[in-house]
Chains A and B, each alone.
Chain A
């Protein structure tokens, strides 16, 4: 178990395994997002209350899921990096953070254009929306603090700590719709509260969610390989690798 853990932490080993895994992840993401998009946009039936605006759910919910999952991944990577000094955890965290920030922005934007026809407003300072906006600021903080130090090692530690502290916002986002009265819960989730959401409606959503997670995996694997070359370019194994296959 520990041997496996440390092997996984070795950039050289990760570089190889990520090379084998990433094409499958990209292909899976492309297939799932393509199928989910066509199904969600053209084939899923319109909602009986919201009409066609509910089709925004197929991008809004996967983006919001990823936004929160990636922040939890940042906190977990930060923990692994701080406790076991595993560099690959920090590299992956640095590479995935911008995707998390972008997904938060997409969740906010798609929620906003969904809110207009559904609630009659683009924005409301309610608990769910505000806590998601805070998540965006936390992402920006984690990304910026990394670059705020002369020594990269100090930036990596600061980013890890901020991610571990900031992750407290995730349960707040999750329970915001239960703890406070918000616009979000009654208006947007009537669809899921219906006892039987038809399969033609939830299946494309499931496919899109899985597609987004596959995209996240592919994105992180590919970018972490690039980051390994950037940081470990002077190592002998990298030189040998490039001499074999220039």
Chain B
């Protein structure tokens, strides 16, 4: 990170007599600070302050008149739904990220395998899920999963598989939200891994081939070590985004059936905005913070390491 901030190079300004204030205004660091000031204001008013405010909200009672300390937290720990949400959030995020990373890795290899001419076209096609706003594409999935007109069930009926309750049954609903999330996120991994595959020197593979390495050994001993850093950054990054996912779960199942697919974001929305218990909703969304912080620390470390390698 520190590498991005270049050391200012000094130059001599023609010195004229000026008032102290104007002199200060013309100093380089003052100009720089003023240029970054809008950013600083935005981040402190719209990010830092709300975060502190949500810590404050989390300690109030429902009508926000009385300080209850950790009362909201204690209340949540006693609720069964909360533990369901914790469990589902973890299952959802981990499974989805693993499959996204796997599919991205595999498809990136296939795209990398074909002649260069065709790669652009395939890459362009495969990235489409990432480009469509998730709220819109999830609607298409909702329609594909429709209980009575599901186009998937229509196809499956030919192979004799009975109508699947895609969003009606708790286990199928969990599967469906993960499937849609994988569909939406895998192209991102594909693009990142493809860019990273291209940067692995061809000579390494040739050397490995001559040493008699099979394709598995080539992946294990050449590709993976060369891509390790980008893999960990994308996985951590995606873990944050998936853990905090809202759009897909909200539109596809809205947390149902019987709260079985709620993740932190959708439950916080349900509790905080729809049921009007703002302090409790703020408390729920705060539970996302620890895992986000852990991921952020690791990402920063990886990016810093990457910067040092370069």
Chain B associates with chain A: no
